[in-house]
Amino acid sequence: MLDLNLEPANAQRSFRVLIADDTQANRALLRAYLVRLGFETLMAEDGEQALELFERERPDIVLMDLMMPKMDGFESIERIRMLRSDRWVPIVIVSAMDAEYDITRGLEAGADDFMTKPLSYQMFAAKMRNLSRALEFQVSREESQRREAAIADAVIDGIITFDAGFCVVDANRAAATIFGRSEGELPGSDLRNHLREPSGEGSWERHFRACVEGRDPDFIGSLQELMGRRADGRMFPCEICVTELPLAEERLFIAVVRDISERKRVGRQLTENAARLQQYHDEAEAEAELAKDIMERHIRRDALEQSGVQQAVIPTQRFSGDIVLAARSRSGKLYAMLADATGHGLAAAMSGLAIVNDFYRAVEDDVPLRRMILMLNNTLAELLPRGRFVSAAVLVLDQKHRRGEMWQGGVPDVLQVAPDGQLLARYRADQLPLGIEVWQAEEVSITPLEWNTASQLLLCSDGLIEACSGKGEEFGYEGVLAALASSRVEGRLDALQVELRRHLDVLAGHDDISMLLLDLPV
User: Are 318 and 419 part of one and the same domain?
Assistant: yes
Phi and psi torsions of 291, nearest 5°: -60, -45
Domain boundary among 118, 151, 184: 151
Relative orientation angle of helices 492-504 and 476-485, to the nearest 10 degrees: 140
Q: What is the CATH number of the domain that holds 491?
A: 3.60.40.10
Q: Are the C-beta atoms of 61 and 92 separated by less than 8 Å? A: yes
| Sign of the dihedral defined by the CA atoms of residues 424, 427, 428, 433, in that order | negative
Identify whether 79 is part of a domain: yes
Q: Are residues 71 and 94 both part of a single domain?
A: yes
Residue 94 pLDDT class (50, 70, 90 cuts)? very high
162 with 146, same domain: the answer is: no
Buried b (16+ CB within 10 A) or exposed e, 496-521: beebbeebbeeebbbbbbbbbbbbbe
The verdict on 173 and 240 lying in the same domain is yes
Least confident stretch, 139-153, 389-403, 454-468? 139-153
Last residue of a domain, one of 151, 170, 197: 151
Q: Is 284 inside a domain boundary?
A: no
Between strands 513-520 and 235-245, the pairing is unpaired
- Altogether, the residues listed in the chain come to a count of 522
CATH number of the domain that residue 184 is part of: 3.30.450.20
| Distance between CA atoms of residues 158 and 172, nearest Å | 6
Domain count, the chain: 3
Q: Same structural domain for residues 46 and 66?
A: yes
Q: Residue 273: inside a domain, yes or no?
A: no
Binning pLDDT at 50, 70 and 90, where does residue 477 land?
Answer: very high
Q: Shortest CA distance to 129 belongs to which of 213, 270, 220, 13?
A: 13
- Residue 522: closest CA among 382, 339, 366, 400: 400
Are 225 and 83 part of one and the same domain? no
Instruction: List, in sequence order, every residue forming a beta bridge with 99; answer none if it has no partner.
Output: none
Picking from 120, 151, 182, the residue at the C-terminal end of a domain is: 151
| Domain-located, residue 286 | no
- CATH number of the domain where residue 137 is located: 3.40.50.2300
CA dihedral 265, 266, 268, 269 (to 10 degrees): 120
Q: What is the pLDDT of residues 268-327, one digit of tens each?
A: 888 888 888 888 767 766 666 665 665 566 566 666 667 789 988 887 655 567 888 999
* Threshold 0.75, pTM exceeds: no
Q: What is the mean pLDDT of the chain?
A: 86
| Alpha-carbon distances of 131 from 63, 179, 327, rounded to whole Å | 12, 33, 52
Per DSSP, the three-state class of 344 is: coil
Rounded mean pLDDT, 246-259: 87
Reported as a pLDDT band with limits 50, 70 and 90, residue 464 is very high
Q: Using 50, 70 and 90 to split pLDDT, how confident is the model at 6?
A: very low
Given its phi and psi angles, is residue 435 left (phi above 0), alpha (psi -120 to 50 degrees) or beta?
A: left
Q: Which residues contact 65 (CB under 8 A, 6 or more apart)?
A: 20, 21, 22, 23, 26, 73, 93, 94, 95
Same domain, 79 and 95: yes
Does 8 reside within a domain?
no
CA 436 vs. chain centroid, Å, equals: 26
Check pLDDT > 90 for residue 385: no
Q: Note whether 201 and 147 are same-domain residues.
A: no
361-364: long-range contacts at Cβ-Cβ below 8 A with a sequence spacing of 24 or more? 362/335, 363/327, 363/328, 363/329, 363/335, 364/329, 364/330
User: Quick one: 120 and 164 in the same domain?
Assistant: no
Q: Judge whether 5 lies within some domain.
A: no
CA Rg value for the chain = 33
pLDDT score at 331: 93
The predicted structure's pLDDT at residue 433 = 94
**Domain span at residue 510?**
292-520
Q: What is the pLDDT of residues 159-179, one digit of tens each?
A: 899 999 999 998 888 899 999
The pLDDT of residue 75 is 93
Q: What would the mean pLDDT of 337-342 be, rounded to a whole number?
A: 88
- The answer to whether the bond into 198 is cis (omega within 30° of 0) is no
**Residue 342 counted as domain residue:** yes
pLDDT at residue 213 is higher than 80: yes
Q: Is the sign of the CA dihedral 437, 441, 442, 448 positive or negative?
A: positive
Whether residue 63 lies inside any domain: the answer is yes
Do 431 and 468 lie in a common domain? Answer: yes
Whether residue 397 sits in one domain with residue 454: yes
> In which band, very low, low, confident or very high, does the pLDDT at 2 lie, cut at 50, 70 and 90?
very low
- Do 413 and 298 fall into the same domain? yes
